[in-house]
Amino acid sequence: MKIGFIGLGNMGAPMAANLAKTGHDVTGFDTAGVSVKGVNKAETAPDAVRGAEAVITMLPNGDILRAVADQIIPHMEKGAVFIDCSTVDVDSARAVADQAEQAGLLAVDAPVSGGIGGAAAGTLTFMAGGSDAAFAKAAPLFEIMGQKAVHCGAAGAGQAAKICNNMILGVTMIATCEAFALADKLGLDRQKMFDVVSTSSGYSWSMNAYCPAPGVGPQSPADNGYKPGFAAELMLKDLRLSQQAAESADADTPMGQIATALYEQFVEAEDGKGMDFSGMLPRFEKRGRS
C-alpha cells in the first residue's frame, strides 16, 4: 500500500519504519526534517500524501493536527483513509474527521497506548473511532504497528477511550504513591505493602505492573531513577485533555481535576519535568501534611 506519514517524532518514526519493513511504500514528512530508514522523505506535507491510499499523522496536539489536516486533505485521493494516531482533544478529532469525510475520505482517530517501546516493537494498542469502512481499511496497518486495535465507536471515540483510561491511570498512580508515602511514615515495609496491596482490593496497574517504589514489584522506571517511561508532562497533557473534555461534556470529574492540578504543580512548579510520572512517590516522601 502507498502510505503517507506525517510527524516522525519519538513515536511516528518507529511506526513508519515498521510499516516500511513489511514492504509498504511509505513516504514521510516532518517539519524537523527527520529521515527514517526505509521511508521516502518528502519535502512538504502535500508531497507525502499525494496518491496515498492511507495517511497517518502522529503529531503533538490538536491545533497542529487541524493545521496539518488543512494542508493535506485537499491533496488526498478520494476514498483514501486519514488515520490520526496523535493524542488530541475530542473536539479536534471530530472536526478533522468531519472535514475528511466532506472531502470524500475515510477517517479514523486512533490514539495509542504502549509508548516508545511499543512503537518500536510494533506492540501498540490502538483505540479507534470512525465508520466501519474506515476502521476496516486501517485495520491491516494497525496489525503491523500494534498487537491490538479496538473499534470504540464513531469519530472521537478513540480519543474518548484514551483520555478516560489515562485519567484513571493518573488518579491511581497518585493514590498508589501517596499510600506508599503514608505506609513509610507508619513504619510499614514497602515489600510487605506491595505483597498485600498487589493481591488485595487496592491493586491496580500502577501498583502491580508499574510499581512506583524502587526495588519492589516488577522492573519499572522507579528502578531506573524515574527516567521515563511515561513522562510526567505527557501525563499532564492527557489529564488536561480529560478536563477539557469533561468541561465540554458537562461531566463531574473531581478526582481527574485534582490529579491534573497535582501533575501541573509537579511538572511546572517542582522538579517533575523530564521525570517518569511515577516520580510522584519521591515527591510525596519529602512532604508533610501542610
| Residue 146 sits in the site that holds ligand NAD (CB under 6 A) | no
Task: Tell me the DSSP string of 167-185.
Answer: HHHHHHHHHHHHHHHHHHH
Q: Is 162 a catalytic residue?
A: yes
Closer Cβ to ligand NAD, 112 or 280, answer by number: 112
Q: Judge contact between 266 and 272, C-beta under 8 A.
A: yes
What does the DSSP 8-state code read for residue 212? S
Q: List binders of ligand NAD among 208-247 (CB under 6 A).
A: 230, 234, 237
Binding map of ligand NAD across residues 102-131, x = CB under 6 A, - = no contact: ----------x--xx---------------
Say which of 2, 21, 148, 162 is annotated catalytic: 162
DSSP helix/strand/coil, 210? coil
| Residue 86 sits in the site that holds ligand NAD (CB under 6 A) | yes
> Which among 84, 78, 79 has a CA at the least distance from the CA of 130?
84
| Residue 10 sits in the site that holds ligand NAD (CB under 6 A) | yes
Grid coordinates 490502538 are at which residue?
A: 126
Q: How far are the Cα atoms of 81, 84, 124, 160, 235 from residue 58, in angstroms, in the given order?
A: 15, 6, 13, 17, 17
| Residue 60 sits in the site that holds ligand NAD (CB under 6 A) | yes
Q: List binders of ligand NAD among 158-197 (CB under 6 A).
A: none
Interface residues with ligand NAD (CB under 6 A) are: 6-12, 29-32, 34, 45, 58-60, 64, 67-68, 86-87, 112, 115-116, 230, 234, 237
Which residues belong to the active site? 162
